[in-house]
Chain A
Amino acid sequence: MSQSMSIPASQTRRPATMSAGMSDRWFSILLITPAMVVILVFALLPLAYALDVSFRFADLTRGRLGDFVGLDNYRIVLADEAFWKSVGVTLQFTVSAVVLEMVLGIAIAFLINGATAGKGIIRSLMVLPLATSAAVTGLFWRYLYDTQFGLINYFLGLLHLPQPNWLGDYTIALWSVVLFDVWQWTPFVALIALAGLQALPKEPFEAAELDGASTFRVLRTLTFPMLKPVLFLVLVLRTIDSVRLYDAVAVLTRGGPGTTTESMTFYLYRTGLKLFRMDYASTMAVFFLYAMLVASLFALAPLLKQFSTRASEG
């Protein structure tokens, strides 16, 4: 690839050869301007608002923003049992959903990659869950899960298997939400892993076959290392989305039974838009953002490093 033809750092030579009259620096800033304007205004303003509110009393139903209360909201939120419970639910959901989606997705990708015919149609069908909204398909999953009218329990009944109360049994409701998420997002992982597999160069594999390397060895030493960047990207994407789990909970369980499926964002919603305690909600949001930033400093560091090194080595 391009590394072999490394070109000296562009900044040093452009002005001499290019006659457009604009320096690289200005051009590069011009390019990011539209995106940055949108992001600065619509990310920083709400963030500033949230930060401001997190230090005040703000029961919105009782009028406008109230007095400055220092760190009270942080103290209250961090001592709130329901908040930590929702953090626990979120972590449990994220870990199980992401692990399942990654493992199943990769397995399915291998399964399809080995198929000789029909890849086009398989891929087209796989895209379906992605093209639908959780708000709508979630509704039909609720119907499928229903113990009286649902198809799932009907089939289980035919097979004389136990018929769980998918969304009503507090020991399994969260798993039912996970299953729905797995249904919607495993194809996403599978499609990307499949694309990754298909984009792998042929030569190293042919060489390995000539050497008589075992399948396992090829997987371990060639396939996975080469797929690693793309899989890592998918992992990060799925994790970010799972941590912000909201739609599926809202439509399937509304956090119930009790609070067994109440994710952090759902608790945030309930606090902010049902109880209208924007002070607590904003505090949670700030805390959430902070936790995510710290986590992503670790998670994204390799990705960003990859970006910058590739950008500078060109």
Chain B
Amino acid sequence: MKQILIAGAVASTALVATVGAASAQACNDADRVPITWSTIAGFYTDAMAKLVSGFEAKNCVKVNVVNIDNSQLYNKQVIEMVGQTGAYDVVTLETSEKAEFAENGFILPMTDYFADKKAQLDDVAPTLAALTTQYKGDVWGLPYYTYTAGYIYRADLFDDPTEQAAFKAKYGYDLAVPTTWAQHRDIAEFFTRKKGDKLKGEELTKDFYGVGLMAGPFPEIQDEMSGVLWSQGADWLTDDGKVPVDAVEKAMDDYLKLVKFAPPAALTVTYDGVMNQMKDGQIAQTYSFFLDQWPNAVTTEQSVPGARMGVAEAPEKKAYIGGFLLAVSASSTHPKEAMDFVAYIGGHDAQMEFAKAGGTSTLMSVLSDPQFATPESRAKTGHFATLLKIFDDMKGFRSNLFDTPFGAKIYNTMQIPLQAAAAGQITARQAAEQLASDVEKICGGPCPIGK
């Protein structure tokens, strides 16, 4: 009922707005409709400012951007939603948060809004769209950025003849981008060296590690483990809303086998720590790593002499699909303008601009645009081709974690047992069991799954 009312209100304001659109050019600052967008701090600030002014030039709207640290964004937005303050018109949601915001009426469905803009909706990479925009048959916004995970590695090490020969001698197969977890583990083990050992024939001045991991106290270890778990045909939640303890234990065990080849800081860092280790020439590869960091990772070629970076799909072609969804708050006083803004930022023109600035776009038309595949644009968009492959290989994939309204709470809690196991405090079995009981507590029983 409430939704119908809102939809009606949106439709009627839409009519008024189309009439008024013609006069947008001659818009006085005083007449501008203010909307506020809560988003991630320090996020391609310049490009975003440009996009915002691009939107303002076409619409009689003033966009007020509120920057919030990524780790605080969720709770800050929930508080404002619960308080129905209307302070944020457009919110930024992580993949796991969409269902909660939709289920609890914090955000407005945009199904009707996009009814006549189907082409735009279809341009969103389908794999990403399925996980980030859809819930219970409705469309809840547009993702404007993806941090889908893949594999980033030091290609120069893989191409080095001495390393290749040594690897072949030790493991009996060729050193190459891993396609299985077993290969990935071997490579991690192979490249783990001590200070004074040789790497590429040169003596190391500091310890070198086979893999960079993010097992710190941030919700990131679950992103890494998602790749492992999903490729084993399991999910964090079964269809009856329970944690599959055996499967999680197996994935955890596989993960633990990697931890010993990672720098000790793996237990304290998040992705920026891993990037710092890469740029300082301390690690050989990082799997299930956010590909949007490619422009960052590629600077290793400047900071480490002789380094060359490579990007590929994660082993077994499964990895975390992450995206920031733009959605319109239910307490927004200007839902129509807010929806226009979402459509604009998630739209082709804005996404092209964004990609040129080094942002990782969510649209097929942008990711596959030939100008981003040229050698000159490698430093910024060299990962686009890999992303397309990932989206293609994971087509039709869904995770129950993103389809339960408790997804955000689970997501914000699950790193605790997983990290405890990574730190060696508890076993993989105990971690899986603790996760199962934590999740049960959060959902108050089996978690509801709403596809």
Direct A/B contact, Cβ within 8 angstroms: yes
Contact call A168/B265, Cβ cutoff below 8 A: yes
Contact call A258/B420, Cβ cutoff below 8 A: yes
Of the candidate stretches B38-46, B134-142, B395-403, B423-431, the one touching chain A is B423-431
With A62-B104, A168-B267, A274-B413 known as contacts, the answer to whether A257 contacts B425 (CB < 8 A) is yes
Residues on A with C-beta less than 8 A from B266 are: 168
Q: Which of A146, A147, A169, A255 contacts B217 (CB 8 A)?
A: A255
Contact call A257/B104, Cβ cutoff below 8 A: no
Judge whether B162 is part of the interface by a CB distance below 8 angstroms. Answer: no
Q: Mark A15-30, 1 if CB is under 8 A from B, else 0.
A: 0000000000000000
Residues on B with C-beta less than 8 A from A256 are: 216-217, 268, 415-416, 419-420, 423
With A60-B82, A62-B104, A258-B423 known as contacts, the answer to whether A168 contacts B409 (CB < 8 A) is no
Residues on B with C-beta less than 8 A from A145 are: 268
| Bound CA–CA A270/B217 (angstroms) | 13
With A146-B265, A168-B268, A274-B409 known as contacts, the answer to whether A258 contacts B276 (CB < 8 A) is no
Interface residues on A, range: 20 to 34
Q: Which of B78, B265, B277 contacts A60 (CB 8 A)?
A: B78
| Bound CA–CA A165/B265 (angstroms) | 7
Contact call A258/B425, Cβ cutoff below 8 A: yes
How many chain B residues have a CB neighbour from A under 8 Å? 36
| Bound CA–CA A60/B83 (angstroms) | 9
Contact call B442/A275, Cβ cutoff below 8 A: yes
Contact call A275/B413, Cβ cutoff below 8 A: yes
Report the minimal beta-carbon distance from B186 to chain A, rounded to whole angstroms.
24
Q: Which of B266, B268, B273, B424 has the most CB of A within 10 A?
A: B268
Residues on B with C-beta less than 8 A from A274 are: 74-75, 409, 412-413
Interface of B is mostly: helix
Residues on A with C-beta less than 8 A from B426 are: 258
Residues on A with C-beta less than 8 A from B416 are: 255-256, 258-259
Top 5 A-B residue pairs of the complex, sorted by shortest distance between their CB atoms:
A258-B420, A168-B267, A256-B217, A257-B423, A254-B217
What are 26 A-to-B residue pairs whose CB atoms are below 8 Å?
Answer: A60-B82, A61-B100, A145-B268, A146-B265, A146-B269, A147-B263, A147-B264, A148-B263, A167-B268, A168-B264, A168-B266, A169-B423, A170-B423, A170-B425, A253-B217, A254-B217, A254-B218, A256-B216, A256-B268, A256-B420, A257-B422, A258-B423, A274-B74, A274-B409, A275-B409, A275-B442
A148-B277, A257-B217, A274-B413 known; 19 other A-B pairs, CB under 8 Å?
Answer: A60-B78, A62-B104, A165-B265, A167-B267, A168-B216, A168-B265, A170-B425, A255-B416, A256-B268, A256-B415, A258-B419, A259-B416, A259-B420, A260-B420, A274-B409, A275-B413, A275-B442, A276-B78, A276-B82
Chain A interface residues toward B at CB < 8 A: 60-63, 142, 145-149, 165, 167-170, 253-260, 270, 273-276
Chain B interface residues toward A at CB < 8 A: 74-75, 78-79, 82, 100, 104, 216-218, 263-269, 273, 276-277, 280, 282, 409, 412-413, 415-417, 419-420, 422-426, 442
